[in-house]
Amino acid sequence: MNTKKEERSDVDSYRGASNDEIDVSAVFNSIGRGFEALGKRLAYLFDLLIRRILLISIFILIGLALALGVYFVTDPYYTSSMTLVLADIRNDFVEDQLNNLSIVVREDNFEAVSNTLDISIDAAKKIKEMKFSNLDAERVDEDSVLIGSPFKIELSLYDNRLFDTMEPALANFLENNRYFSKQKRIRQREVESLISKLKNEIGSIDSLKATVSSPRGPVNGFVYGQPVDPTNLYRESTRMYEQQVDLESELDQLDNIQIVNGFAPRLHPTGPNLLKFLAIGGFIAFIIGLIVALNLEKKKRRKLDL
């Protein structure tokens, strides 16, 4: 009994293995037939291309001529970029602001662009496209917040003379953001108050230095019962003056947006690209010509069959 069961098991295993081999061979045969059919199709198209080369060539020439015509009627544009750096401000805020502006530009809302950037409507019509990117975006972890990082604005204009106008317009647009302006005013008042206080204290120390160096009456080196060391007075006056200079320098650089590299002047247009126009026009015309050739071949076969 055990021997018969083992024989049946061996037979079933052999049949299962045979079925697997048959399934695999069927898959490979199907793939082979697919490649064979594809090869025949490509051979037929190549043969058709040879027989209808004149017709397809005419379509390609027409496509190239149309592409050349479109190229000459397309206005040339110039692309340049500027780099700006932020103060202690999240880059997300600037990104949202520039994204809103780029949407208005894409929608050709010239009046809104004119009002937003404080430029003429004619200048707004010369803006083709605007892109922006954070330069340090790849260096920061995904769960981190990007603050004070430089970013780049890429601008495409139909008039290369407008880059000088667009540079301060974009900087002022970002600087005059209500949130940024409020933070700037707060810091400006703080710095100006500190500078005013330092000036008063420096003036008091200068008066005290003059009194110590040229005393009138029996001073004997004492002020309010405390001994006065002229060296310490001069040292403290110098330290305060250095603080004042630092604060005045900070006041001059209090803008939230600083231009690192402005738009480079462009003499030669960035686009349109003639080769790209010709390649696209020629390829589309080739496809159309091939479709027409296939239809003519089908009609010819139908006539022969009749």
Residues 97 and 148 in one domain: yes
Six token digits for residue 20: 């697997």
pLDDT at 167: 92
Residue 12 lies in a domain: no
Residues 54 and 89 in one domain: no
Angle between helices 91-106 and 110-117 (to 10 degrees): 140
| The domain boundary residue, chosen from 177, 205, 235 | 177
Residue 30 lies in a domain: no
Residues 164 and 196 in one domain: no
Residue 29 lies in a domain: no
First vs last C-alpha separation in the chain? 71
pLDDT at 224: 47
**Using CA atoms, how far apart are residues 214 and 231, in angstroms rounded to an integer?**
15
The total domain count for the chain is: 3
pLDDT at 107: 92
pLDDT at 225: 47
| The domain boundary residue, chosen from 122, 148, 177 | 177
Residue 137 lies in a domain: yes
Residue 266 lies in a domain: no
pLDDT at 252: 66
- CATH code of the domain covering residue 80: 3.30.70
Residues 276 and 300 in one domain: yes
DSSP-assigned states of every residue in 52-114: THHHHHHHHHHHHHHHHHHHHHSPPBEEEEEEEEESS-BHHHHHHHHHHHHHHHHTT-HHHHH
pLDDT at 222: 46
pLDDT at 218: 52
Residues 133 and 172 in one domain: yes
Residue 90 lies in a domain: yes
Residue-wise pLDDT tens for the chain (306 aa)?
A: 555 555 555 545 545 545 555 566 777 778 888 888 888 888 888 888 888 899 999 999 999 999 999 999 999 999 999 998 877 667 777 888 888 899 999 999 999 999 999 999 999 999 999 998 877 655 555 545 556 578 899 999 999 999 999 999 998 888 887 777 777 777 778 878 888 888 888 888 777 766 666 655 554 444 444 555 667 777 777 888 888 888 777 766 666 678 888 998 888 999 999 999 999 999 999 999 999 999 988 888 887 776
Residue 162, domain extent: 75-177
Run of H or E including 299: helix 274-305
Residue 5 lies in a domain: no
| The domain boundary residue, chosen from 177, 200, 221 | 177
pLDDT at 216: 55
**Using CA atoms, how far apart are residues 204 and 236, in angstroms rounded to an integer?**
11
Residues 80 and 171 in one domain: yes
Convert the pLDDT of each residue in 64-111 to its tens digit: 999 999 999 999 999 999 998 877 667 777 888 888 899 999 999 999
φ/ψ of 163, rounded to 5, equals -65, -35
Residues 68 and 128 in one domain: no
Residue 204 lies in a domain: yes
Residues 95 and 160 in one domain: yes
Residues 142 and 235 in one domain: no
**For the range 92-95, what are the long-range contacts, defined as Cβ-Cβ under 8 Å and sequence gap of 24 or more?**
92/145, 92/146, 93/177, 93/179, 93/180, 94/151, 94/174, 95/132, 95/134, 95/151
Q: For residue 166, give Cα distances in angstroms to 4, 112, 183, 264.
A: 93, 15, 25, 12
Residues 131 and 222 in one domain: no
Residue closest to 118 by CA, chosen among 78, 77, 174? 174
Residues 62 and 80 in one domain: no
Q: Say if pTM beats, i.e. exceeds, 0.85.
A: no
Residues 125 and 197 in one domain: no
